[in-house]
Amino acid sequence: MVISLLPNNFKIVGWFILLPTIIIGLLFIYYDYSADWLNVKTFALVNKNFGNGTSYFTEIETNLTNTFLGAL
């Protein structure tokens, strides 16, 4: 089994991705920050609303800030 790693030059790129992500992640956690430009309509298999019941295969409005922070 061969394990291929990235060259050491990519360490700098990793730090440029990691540091802003940590700062924005802390803002998201402690100050409930969310980027307004990430409000999008997405497809949902199941949407459970407390007042309206459950709907299936619908489109919902959501913010993707936490999704992108988790991916980075």
Note the pLDDT of residue 16: 92
What is the reported pTM?
0.59
Phi, psi of 45 (to 5 degrees): -70, -45
71 band by pLDDT with thresholds 50, 70 and 90: confident
The Cα–Cα gap between 46 and 57 comes to 6
Which pLDDT tens digit goes with each residue over 38-57? 889 988 888 887 777 788 88
Note the pLDDT of residue 32: 80
